[in-house]
A and B are shown apart, each in its own frame.
Chain A
Amino acid sequence: MTPAYQLTNLSKSYAGRQVLNIDHLEIHPGEILAVIGPSGAGKSTLLRILNFLESPDSGKVYFQGQPVNYHKIPLEVRRMVTTVFQNPALLSGNVGSNLQFGLRLRGLKDGHRDVDEMLERLGLTSLRRSPAHTLSGGEAQRVALARALILKPTVLLLDEPTANLDPYNVEMIESVIRGINQTHQTTIVLVTHNIFQARRLADRVALLLNGEIVETADTQTFYKNPCDSRTRGFIRGEMVW
């Protein structure tokens, strides 16, 4: 099967400081890949590159088997991938209009049924007309997720989707992520600090340290029988982060 993504010798620097240096990474279609790693490891930067929002300094990225030319990415390709950012960046206006935003960008005027369904799914129905700026952190995070899901992306990139949320919100969001992956075979890259969340959701886990992929393995193997001593350290919580 053609990989969703294939990254080779990819590097990225900011102001002369290298923040990503990935020899090889493959993301399989339809899988949930968790990317874990300490703060500053380069996780968000990796997602921006996967979402074509930023170009790598060197290296190759293949998307669905095709080499990506970061200077010229077709709109249809860009629209197959979407990110839910670390901090829910909602637009002014209410919850409903935030959900419709991506549909409107695509010229789809009547997505009302999808909106209703998505609101229902994330427990937001009663908040439909609430102004975005009045929402709680958990509500805002759910709106941001719903706004991405409604687009039925081929690839969904999630940057800490449950950071700072209570168990109720965490559980709801996790079950929605699992559901969308199962029903639509959405490829999901999940960035998380939470090694337990990674274990609960992911098919495979990758550990990113100082911009480098230390280990990628099946979730089982990753937690039970990791190859790298640094992985063992990280999952035992020995690493300071």
Chain B
Amino acid sequence: METILSGIIQGLKLFFYGDATLWQIIGVSAQVSGIALLISAVIGIPLGALLGLTRFPGRRMIQAMIYTGMGLPPVVVGLAVYLLISNNGLLGPLQQAWIPKLFTVEAMIAAQVIIAAPLVIGYTMSAVGEVSPNLRLQVRSLGATRVQVLGTTLREARRGVLVALIGGFGSILSEVGAVMMVGGNIEGSTRVMTTAILLETRRGNFELAIGLGIVLLGMAFLINLSAAQLQGKGY
């Protein structure tokens, strides 16, 4: 009990006094998950809209794959990426510039994109599906091109799309399996909040672990709060 209490106090102190290590770790987390989310959004929102709105053979199949992808265990994703990019893996030996190296920030981003993109696609897909077909027809009748119909439908479904982004971000910000596996938890470079909490707890360094835990919770809360605010404004 005492450990926990002093841990919390120490954690808060670290946070508010701007402890360098703590903030460096927060920075890496924000960078990795932020970029991964951005990439997932750029891929996932248009793809989700397309899958939700157009009919073509094989669509059900792809949808089933996306839904499966929404529940991928991060550790398994980490393992798969590891096997792909390690030096004696499938892609690693190709030595191409676009293939990230193991134990780098880029590798972690790649793994997190694989986790978040299906979530963004899946939630976007169902969000645009909720927009009434009658409205889409009206939009087309008013002279919209295909792309404009897609854009307008996304705008009408923006709450759902926002949920998609929050869901995606939440899943990667708090995952530990994949970043551990392909990032390696290297101090000062690939150590993120979740892997740091894991390590520091194991070492008995509860202060840093709790401090990071508080930041993680706080970030999640702030994101959801701002999302709620945006929704309230009718955005």
| Contact present for A85 and B134 (CB under 8 Å) | yes
Contact A102 B134 (CB under 8 A): no
**Does B138 contact A89, Cβ atoms closer than 8 Å?**
yes
Given A92-B156, A105-B148, the answer on whether A147 and B142 have CB atoms closer than 8 Å is yes
In the complex, B143 has a CB within 8 A of chain A: yes
Contact yes or no, A105 B156, CB < 8 A: no
- Identify A102's interface contact among B137, B143, B145, CB under 8 A: B143
Which chain A residues numbered 15 to 46 have a C-beta less than 8 Å away from chain B? none
Residue among B132, B138, B140 facing the most chain A CB atoms (10 A cut-off): B138
A87 to B137, CA, bound (A): 12
A-side interface mostly: mixed
Interface residues of B in 137-163 (CB under 8 A from A): 137-145, 148, 152, 155-156
Q: Are B135 and A89 neighbours in the complex by a CB distance under 8 Å?
A: yes
Give every chain B residue within 8 A of A85 (Cβ-Cβ): 134, 137-138, 141
CB of A190, distance to nearest CB on chain B (Å): 16
Residue of A nearest to B142 (CB): A102
Q: Which of A76-84, A122-130, A178-186 contacts B (4 or more CB under 8 A)?
A: A76-84
Q: Is the CB of A131 within 8 A of B141?
A: no
Contact across chains for B141 and A51 when beta carbons are under 8 A apart: yes
Q: State whether A151 touches B141 (Cβ < 8 A).
A: no
Partner of A75, one of B138, B145, B234: B145
- Cα A75 to Cα B219 in complex, Å, equals 47
Restricting to A77-119, which residues have a CB under 8 Å from any CB of B? 78-79, 81-83, 85, 87, 89, 91-92, 101-102, 105-106
The verdict on A53 contacting chain B, using a C-beta distance below 8 Å, is yes
* Chain A residue at smallest Cβ distance from B137: A53
Instruction: Please determine whether B135 and A151 come into contact, CB atoms closer than 8 angstroms.
Output: no
In chain A between 138 and 166, which residues have their CB closer than 8 angstroms to a CB of chain B? Answer: 147-148, 151
Complex contacts, A81 vs chain B, CB 8 Å: 141
A148–B234 touching, CB < 8 Å: no
Q: Is A131 within 8 A of B234, CB to CB?
A: yes
A-B contact count (CB 8 A): 48
Query: A83 near B144 (CB under 8 angstroms)?
Result: no
Proximity string of chain B (83-108) to chain A, C-beta cutoff 8 Å, 1 when within and 0 when not: 00000000000000000000000000
- Looking at the assembled complex, report how far the CB atom of B127 sits from the nearest CB atom of chain A, in whole angstroms: 13
Judge whether A105 and B135 touch: CB under 8 Å: no
| Distance to closest chain A CB from B156 (angstroms) | 6
A residues less than 8 Å from B152 (CB atoms): 91
Residues in chain B near residue A89, CB distance under 8 A: 132, 134-135, 137-138
Q: Do residues B134 and A105 form an inter-chain contact, with CB atoms below 8 A?
A: no
- B144: A residues at CB distance < 8 A: 105
Task: For the complex, give the distance between the alpha carbons of A203 and B132 in Å.
Answer: 34
Say whether, besides A89-B132, A92-B234, A105-B148, A53 and B142 are in contact (CB < 8 Å).
Answer: no
Give the complex CA separation of A52 and B50 in angstroms: 21
Q: Please state if B145 and A101 are interface contacts (CB–CB under 8 Å).
A: no
Q: List 15 A-B contacts (CB under 8 A).
A: A48-B137, A53-B137, A53-B141, A78-B143, A81-B141, A82-B143, A83-B141, A85-B134, A85-B138, A89-B132, A91-B155, A102-B142, A102-B143, A105-B142, A105-B148
Enumerate chain B interface residues (CB-CB to A < 8 A). Answer: 132, 134-135, 137-145, 148, 152, 155-156, 234
Q: Which residues of A contact B (CB under 8 A)?
A: 48, 51, 53, 75, 78-79, 81-83, 85, 87, 89, 91-92, 101-102, 105-106, 131, 147-148, 151
